[in-house]
Amino acid sequence: LPVRKLGGDWWQLNELATMLVGAGTGRALRLGDPVRVRVERVDAARGRVDLIHVQL
């Protein structure tokens, strides 16, 4: 899921801690954290599935 599709905040990458931190909320997302998504679009010919976040 690309960071640009997370929305709701300005996400800053903390490379040392391997996490994203919301500039406004302070919320942290670490590698492996569960994120609820839904399928936005499927391109079977190219083998692509685009996801959009539903809930963090």
pLDDT at res. 53: 84
- Residue pair 28/19 in contact (Cβ under 8 Å)? The answer is yes
Cβ-Cβ contacts under 8 Å for 6 (sequence gap 6 or more): 20, 29, 53, 56
pLDDT less than 70: residues of the chain = 56
- pTM for the complete prediction? 0.69
Map residue 56 onto helix, strand or coil.
coil
> Between the CA of residue 40 and those of 32, 34, 51, 54, 56, what are the distances in Å?
21, 18, 5, 11, 16
